[in-house]
Structure 1
Amino acid sequence: MQLETDYLVVGAGASGMAFVDALIEHSDADVIMVDRRHKPGGHWHDAYPFVRLHQPAAAYGVSSTMLGGDRIDTAGVNAGMYELSSASEICSYFSEVMDRVLLPSGQVRFMGMSEYREVAPGDHRVVSLLTGEEVQVKVRKRLVDATYIEPEIPATRRPPYEVEAGVLVVPPNDLVNLGSAAAGFTVLGAGKTAMDVCTWLLEHGVDPNAITWVRSRDVWSVNREWTQPLDLVHTQVRYGGTWMRAAAESSSGAEMALRLEEAGLFLRLDQDVPPTAYRGATISPAEVEGLRSIRNVVRAGRVRRVARGRMDFENGQHVDQPLDQVYVDCTATGLRTIEPRPVFESGRITLQYVTPGFACLSAATLGVVEAVLDDDAVKEHLSLPVVYTGHIDDLMSFTSTYLESASRRNGVPEVRTWSQQTRLNPVRGLGERLDDPRVVAAMQESKKWKDAALENLARRTAVAV
């Protein structure tokens, strides 16, 4: 059996869905989407059940379809900010987008429970994971890899350290299925997953003294109060102006982080420990307050072995532990550090971040670029990959790459107009609130520091042109 299409998109997670939604909005392209899972949604199907978006639902998903109700939460650690959808809500949303938007368009076909294989260059096969049936697909334009930036999550890989028999080590997913009370919980990992787990345990009545938190390094997080759209869009504009000023006045990524903390945009958990990592996660001040109640923090580096009554670390140290702990593995990297590769190549698109922290906006932007422009060299010029290395020292080069790439896209009228109008833009609602004094002040601040920021970044970093 053989099929034919313009675009064969491998992966129906957030990036793949956002790319296809934007592509078919701006072209008459025919698309086949392939995914190993039974429905769209990607890693959200494997996420721990209590996870929520780390950004407002108002600016997540696909451009054509609203996620959530653009509501502001009134309770919990996100109170006063726009709602954060749950994993189940996101999976349901992407299924609805597929069933009610993409498939009815007549431009999209979905092959779930299927695996993509490239037998030889240009020889594309799709194999059913249920029947083993193999279909050859002739691709007229491009293969689209929508899996390249897929995050690594604990539920889909084994812990990277040795676990002695009889010691209970679980991914966050299994916390909701514990059959009896634990003597205590030891959370391994320093990132947002570990923060989510600790917050969830505290919210469910676990004494902070019953939690041990193993952090190999401390991380900077973005204050979520500064990332709000619509009626609170002045916060997002203030974010931009504050970031510009820090970029203009700093000599290194570490100094830039400290300036952002002084302004209130960056948050850390321990005032006595300088964070050395940044992966773009957001957190609320209420979450930080709760997490600071956990006093038993172990900073002995990476765990080598978990045994009954002790943890051994790679640096030779060991830490004694109470017996019958539940160890929660949160050591997966989440947002992976990737090797940047060309986004647009002959016969191929590799979806990557071109807007920091916004996978859906990045993918949709690339869908628009692909649809409205013809020259691959021009497309690539507009699409510099923004890579999260995790090291705070790279904050300035990260910023420089993004600003250069965004400036280039802003020079293309079709892309600029779409960017200003899409619901995925983090400053959604700005156009309707240009008379808000808070917005005016924040925009003036951004304009004031923009040229100085670009000059300083150019002097201290190197961006390919």
Structure 2
Amino acid sequence: MADFMQYAPFGAYYRFPRSGRPTEYPPMEQLETDYLVVGAGASGMAFADALIEHSDADVIMVDRRHRPGGHWHDAYPFVRLHQPAAAYGVSSTMLGAHRIDESGVNAGMYELSSAAEICSYYADVMNRVLLPSGQVRFLAMSEYHQEGPNDHRLVSLLTGEETRIVVHRRVVDATYIEPEIPATRSPRFQVDDDVTVIPPNDLVKVGSKPAGFTVVGAGKTAMDSCTWLLENGVDADSITWVRSRDVWSIDREWTQPLDLVHHRAKFNAAWMQAAAEATSGMDMALRLEKAGVFLRLDQGVPPTAFRGATISRAEVEGLRKIGNVVRLGRVRRVHADGMEFTNGGVSQPRGQVYVDCTATGLRTLEPHSVFEPGRITLQYVTPGFACWSAATLAVVESLLDDDELKEHMSLPVVYTGHVDDLLAFTSAHVTSAQRRSAHPGIRAWSGHTRLNPALGLRERLKDPRVLAALDEAKKWLAPALRNLEERVGPAGCTTGQMPTAAVTN
């Protein structure tokens, strides 16, 4: 009979070997909490911050890193937020100073924080907001695993000591939507020994002039890498850009909050009109491009990918200077004299530095329930805004009692990466946003939280530009919902009605 564990009082445990005679081991530390939040990145921090704002819950947060910040600790040093800092982070604490940039590719728009600023911000939130609340404990450098029902363990990566956590309400998985970034994975193509392939993080470590730079990848990481090279004096003709497919991006000017929030209001109206009139995902993308919301790099190549990245028109103008673009499918092998692809090969001068930007960023995830007995799996329920999504789910968890109703209000917005799914993506977002707006408490919080990308809208309702955009969005909302249901089927509850549990708050 295999060995098994049995817990004894006061944390001591015994292993019963095959002889049947127990052997006593040192006691295991045991902690109790209402919520165990696994992951102290953007999602976990936003969830914990909103949860303690709306409840008296006790929370333990655990992360394998040395301090909060998640993937930002592994990000390339020149990365910046792709959305205004004014609406990123946690609801309780401002990030940045609500400045509008006066120079660079983001000129005229609200500031974008750097990775270093974001990591410092999260450390400050933990040390000055969450821990002093008395409701949050943080266990860094620890790995989480589950042994059985309500048998949750943390293992210190420094000492190997194991701690058992008794969870009274839920385990919160804040790692499910963690992005995949180049620095944490190896290239997915063959690299010969005499070739230099680096993640974008190592661009700042290049010590001598290479024969040229070859950037592999079509997404925002590749765009950032190319922009950084251009800004630092690399001639566009010295850059080769490998793009297996082109990507739709959102013009960042349309996503601005506060004094520029009329742009965000116009964004919502244009999106609703496109959703009301589109016959397919590609048709919707083309309509958004015509409205000015979507941008592409090459007017002769229809993009087939969409992951919600934002970009400025100044960045696009710079990137269009790179004329050596390779579109031969995915890279299979990089060797001293060039590259092999699924659809051919190209020669390259020896001494190239290849920059691997092929990590997917927002990973394609399987549909998963958000609320389950004893568990919450944090996911996007608002498109492109991990912090707003996680905080929204914390408010839903705090203000409602029925899991069926919570799920009804929290349809996951899944990024598949393909533009064909833009209609389904929009349907999930608009449907569950409408459902949440029917709850007074959730609606009030969402309208005032700094994480709402339309931050400042309520204070500017007398602005004629805002009023006109709101009227336009309202006009297209019902037609959009009808068209989306006709094209992709009903989102979530097939009746479009609330479950039997009443909304009372």
Give TM-score scaled by structure 2 length. Answer: 0.91
> Post-superposition shift, 1:68?
0.1
Matched, 1:401 2:412: no
- Matches of 1:248 and 1:349 in 2, distance apart? 33
2:440 to 413, 417, 437: 413
Matched, 1:361 2:388: yes
- Matches of 1:464 and 1:359 in 2, distance apart? 20
SS in 2 for 1:216: coil
Aligned to 2:365: 338
Within a 5 Å distance, the mapping from 1:360-399 to structure 2 comes to 360-399=387-426
Letter in 2 for 1:372: L
Letter in 2 for 1:408: R
Letter in 1 for 2:474: K
Aligned length: 464
- Matches of 1:416 and 1:224 in 2, distance apart? 26
Matched, 1:13 2:45: no
> Post-superposition shift, 1:182?
1.4
Task: State whether residues 408 and 492 of structure 2, in contact with CA within 8 Å, keep that contact through their aligned partners in structure 1.
Answer: no
1:424 to 437, 442, 451: 451
- Matches of 1:373 and 1:449 in 2, distance apart? 30
Q: For 1:60-116, what per-residue CA distance to the aligned partner results, in whole angstroms no more than 9, with x for missing partners?
A: 000000000011000000000000000000000000000000000000000000000
- Matches of 2:135 and 2:149 in 1, distance apart? 25
SS in 2 for 1:220: strand
Matched, 1:169 2:188: no
1:289 to 317, 325, 335: 317
- Matches of 1:36 and 1:78 in 2, distance apart? 34
- Matches of 1:331 and 1:45 in 2, distance apart? 19
- Matches of 2:480 and 2:143 in 1, distance apart? 46
Matched, 1:191 2:219: yes
Q: For 1:395-449, what per-residue CA distance to the aligned partner results, in whole angstroms no more than 9, with x for missing partners?
A: 0111011111101111111111000010000110011111111111111111121
Letter in 1 for 2:325: V
> Post-superposition shift, 1:229?
0.2
- Matches of 2:38 and 2:351 in 1, distance apart? 43
2:468 to 429, 441, 446: 441
- Which stretches of structure 1, 4 residues or longer, exceed 3 Å deviation after superposition? none
Aligned to 1:89: 117
Matched, 1:120 2:148: yes
For structure 2, the 5+ residue unaligned runs are 1-28, 494-505
SS in 2 for 1:136: strand
Aligned to 1:47: 75
1:148 to 173, 176, 188: 176
- Matches of 2:92 and 2:42 in 1, distance apart? 13
Task: State whether residues 370 and 407 of structure 2, in contact with CA within 8 Å, keep that contact through their aligned partners in structure 1.
Answer: yes
Aligned to 2:379: 352
- Matches of 1:93 and 1:318 in 2, distance apart? 45
Within a 5 Å distance, the mapping from 1:60-99 to structure 2 comes to 60-99=88-127
Aligned to 1:327: 354
Letter in 2 for 1:352: Q
> Post-superposition shift, 1:314?
2.2
Q: For 1:339-376, what per-residue CA distance to the aligned partner results, in whole angstroms no more than 9, with x for missing partners?
A: 12110000000000000000000000000011111111
Aligned to 1:205: 233
Aligned to 1:28: 56
**Which gives a bigger RCO, structure 1 or 2 (Cα 8 Å, sep 6+)?**
1
Q: For 1:276-295, what per-residue CA distance to the aligned partner results, in whole angstroms no more than 9, with x for missing partners?
A: 01000000000000000000
- Matches of 1:179 and 1:455 in 2, distance apart? 58
Within a 5 Å distance, the mapping from 1:236-247 to structure 2 comes to 236-247=264-275
Aligned to 1:179: 207
Letter in 1 for 2:177: I
Letter in 2 for 1:435: K
SS in 2 for 1:32: strand
Task: State whether residues 91 and 391 of structure 2, in contact with CA within 8 Å, keep that contact through their aligned partners in structure 1.
Answer: yes
Letter in 1 for 2:301: V
Matched, 1:131 2:159: yes
Q: For 1:135-181, what per-residue CA distance to the aligned partner results, in whole angstroms no more than 9, with x for missing partners?
A: 00000100000000000000000000000002000000000011111
Q: For 1:229-251, what per-residue CA distance to the aligned partner results, in whole angstroms no more than 9, with x for missing partners?
A: 00000000000000111111110
SS in 1 for 2:396: helix
Aligned to 2:8: none
- Matches of 1:301 and 1:60 in 2, distance apart? 35
> Post-superposition shift, 1:54?
0.2
- Matches of 1:89 and 1:346 in 2, distance apart? 37
Q: Which has the higher mean CA deviation after the structures are superposed, 341-350 or 113-122?
A: 113-122
Aligned to 1:461: 488
SS in 1 for 2:445: helix
- Matches of 2:177 and 2:280 in 1, distance apart? 27
Superposed CA RMSD: 0.6
Task: State whether residues 399 and 441 of structure 2, in contact with CA within 8 Å, keep that contact through their aligned partners in structure 1.
Answer: yes
- Matches of 1:119 and 1:129 in 2, distance apart? 18
Aligned to 1:309: 337
Letter in 1 for 2:42: A
% same residue: 73
